[in-house]
């Protein structure tokens, strides 16, 4: 839904006024499973990407907190650790995101994940999978910095003793995801344009070949949609991110608690 709603020059059959209308229209005209197209490639990359992401975050957060605030919670340390962890995470997830978004576009010509990978590789080269990487980082570094700082701040407010408390992790994760998602929507719109290379949008601007670079994407979005163009799909993005970050944090905190508990039991 987010990919479709961020389309700058959508096909008349793919114009939506709200998340509910978009979902209803896609299901009725394209099938029940259409909104989930491309989810398999996302799931494939998500495992190793998130493993590196949280491992790097925990290690850096601890090291930087020890240095900056003698082991106490440091918002600066949380932001830096989240930003560095993003570099590893996005190196794995960027190609998966390109494939997913191309398969989700209206009238997508790709029949499967493999067909999409082969066609993009053959027609645009390997670089196409990382065309939006710098934009992705430019978006995700502030997103993750805001995300981690907000999460840790919320934990300080509702779970100051940092005990395992599923409700606090879900609430903190959801709020952190919503705040970070809303703040970085303009960058996400630019990333979607770079990933999809939306034909109608580019041809209306007389752009031949492929659009590349965050600055070019920013200019194109403004020329096509003005200031409001930067916030296309903000509702869908927030709705998507809230459960996503809430689930990620609650699952992560559970395994962190479970593994720490087992480690202590073995020692005693």
For the chain, how many residues are written? 268
Smallest Cα–Cα separation from 200: which of 218, 225, 236? 225
pLDDT at 5: 56
Residue 48 CA to residue 116 CA, distance in Å, equals 22
Smallest Cα–Cα separation from 11: which of 201, 232, 229? 201
Per-position DSSP letters for 21-86, written without gaps between them: HHHHHHHHHH-TTGGGTTHHHHHHHHHHHHHHHHHHHHHHHHHHHHHHHTTS--HHHHHHHHHHHH
Q: What is the DSSP letter of 160?
A: T
Domain boundaries, the chain: 1-36, 236-267
Q: Looking at the predicted structure, is the pLDDT value of residue 253 above 80?
A: yes
pLDDT at 114: 82
199-223: average pLDDT = 75
Between 4 and 19, name the one with better pLDDT.
19
For residue 100, give both structure tokens: 């997913």
Residue 81 CA to residue 58 CA, distance in Å, equals 8
Angle at CA 209, nearest 5°, toward 115 and 140?
70
Per-position DSSP letters for 182-233, written without gaps between them: HHTHHHHHHHHHHHHT-HHHHHHTT--S---SHHHHHHHHHHHHHHHHTTTT
pLDDT at 14: 60
Instruction: Enter the pTM of the model.
Output: 0.65
pLDDT digits (tens, 9 = 90+) for 45-68: 677 888 888 889 999 999 999 888
CB 110 within 8 A of CB 55: no
pLDDT digits (tens, 9 = 90+) for 86-124: 988 888 888 888 888 787 766 666 777 788 888 888 888
Q: Looking at the predicted structure, is the pLDDT value of residue 33 above 60?
A: no
121-132: average pLDDT = 84
């Amino acid at each position: 839904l987010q990919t479709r709603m961020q389309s700058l020059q959508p096909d008349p059959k793919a114009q939506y006024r709200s998340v509910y209308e978009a979902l209803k229209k896609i299901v009725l005209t394209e099938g029940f499973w259409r909104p989930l197209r491309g989810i398999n490639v996302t799931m494939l990359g998500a495992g190793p990407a998130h493993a590196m992401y949280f491992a790097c975050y925990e290690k850096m957060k601890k090291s930087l907190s020890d240095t900056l605030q003698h082991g106490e919670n440091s918002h600066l340390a949380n932001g830096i650790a989240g930003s560095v962890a993003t570099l590893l995470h996005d190196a794995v997830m960027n190609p998966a995101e390109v494939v997913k978004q191309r398969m989700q576009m209206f009238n997508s010509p790709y029949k499967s994940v493999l067909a999409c990978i082969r066609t993009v590789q053959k027609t645009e080269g390997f670089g196409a999978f990382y065309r939006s990487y710098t934009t992705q980082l430019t978006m995700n570094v502030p997103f993750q910095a805001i995300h981690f700082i907000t999460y840790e701040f919320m934990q300080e407010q509702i779970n100051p003793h940092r005990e395992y408390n599923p409700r606090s992790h879900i609430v903190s994760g959801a709020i952190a995801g919503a705040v970070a998602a809303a703040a970085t929507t303009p960058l996400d719109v630019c990333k979607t344009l770079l990933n999809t290379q939306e034909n109608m949008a580019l041809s209306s601007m007389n752009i031949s070949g492929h659009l590349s670079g965050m600055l070019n994407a920013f200019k194109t979005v403004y020329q096509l949609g003005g200031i409001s163009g930067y916030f296309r799909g903000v509702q869908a993005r927030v709705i998507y991110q809230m459960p996503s970050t809430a689930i990620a944090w609650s699952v992560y905190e559970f395994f962190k608690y479970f593994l720490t508990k087992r480690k202590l039991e073995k020692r005693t």
